[in-house]
Amino acid sequence: MSAITASMVKDLRQRTGLGMMECKKALVEAAGDSELAIENLRKSSGMKAAKKAGRVAADGIIALRAEAGKAVLVEVNSETDFVARDDSFLAFVGNVADAALAGSAASVEELMSGDLEKAREALIQKIGENITVRRFESKASDAVLGAYIHGNNRIGVLVELQGGDEILAKDIAMHVAAVNPLVAKPEDMSQDEVAKEREIFAAQAAESGKPAEIIEKMVEGRVRKYLAENSLVEQAFVKDPDQTVGKLLKAAGADILGFTRYEVGEGIEKKQEDFAAEVAAQVAGANG
């Protein structure tokens, strides 16, 4: 077997995009034959992607694409913030967002069929982290569309207005990004959610020992307050707290048709890593 030189490892890294230790191992197993090493890596690449898929990807970015009459938000996840800033990852996210804007896919599975899925698997092999395209929202409408991405690409919002203009729609989108309302209007709140909050408020009020009719009024008052605090049109506008978003819209002759707000990793339970223990385990494995 020929000696595995640094230049051989470097050449294999450039050709495959994989890590140094992985390339060196492949060359050793292939007795220095670069072509055989590449063939073996290709055979195992699917296994690597599948193994990574079990790991939690709760970081990443939100991407936005917009053109006349259409806009899309896309969330693509990685395991760490470090990878979320990697140029290869960002390029992949851009390709996914472009495809979502240009196409008519109705689901992530449909969007990722074909070349994009192959690109995702290749990126997993290159970066060494699980990469997932979690969700996307596409709006194509004759209504006024407004979009906003928070500076660090971790929050994205699409807003759809009847009337008004794109400047107003973007202002509303910025408000949604900052304040995070649950619904556009009080009547949009699910009855299950209202019932749950009413039950909680009733239990709290019952502890006051006040008469039943007083408790009932207290509960209804708290429900109204809850709906106002969590409904976009009832909230004080972030740029001008002296007026509500609803009044802002009314003054412009506009109405809110709906909004979508994405925040990176929301709803994903992220495992808390003990990095000291992880490093110790790696050292122990290396010395074993």
Residue 174 pLDDT exceeds 90: yes
pLDDT per residue as tens digits for the range 75-127: 999 999 999 999 999 999 999 999 999 998 999 999 998 889 999 989 998 88
| Domain presence at residue 75 | yes
Structure confidence at residue 198 (pLDDT): 86
| Domain presence at residue 149 | no
- Whether residues 74 and 130 fall in one domain: yes
| Domain presence at residue 147 | no
pTM for the model stands at: 0.73
State which residues form the domain around 36.
6-49
- Whether residues 104 and 77 fall in one domain: yes
- Whether residues 128 and 60 fall in one domain: yes
- Whether residues 76 and 136 fall in one domain: yes
**Count of all residues that appear for the chain in the document:** 288
End position of a domain, from candidates 102, 117, 140: 140
Report how far residue 179's alpha carbon sits from residue 61's, in angstroms, rounded to the nearest whole number.
19
Q: What is the mean pLDDT of residues 124-139?
A: 90
| Domain presence at residue 275 | no
Give me the chain's average pLDDT, please: 87
- Whether residues 57 and 114 fall in one domain: yes
Q: What is the mean pLDDT of residues 189-215?
A: 86
- Whether residues 17 and 86 fall in one domain: no
| Domain total of the chain | 3
Q: What CATH number has the domain bearing residue 133?
A: 3.30.479.20
- Whether residues 37 and 98 fall in one domain: no
Residue 7 pLDDT exceeds 90: no
Among 89-98, 198-207, 260-269, top mean pLDDT goes to 89-98
- Whether residues 122 and 197 fall in one domain: no
- Whether residues 80 and 131 fall in one domain: yes
| Domain presence at residue 111 | yes
| Domain presence at residue 249 | no
pLDDT per residue as tens digits for the range 26-64: 899 989 988 888 878 777 765 566 667 667 778 999 999
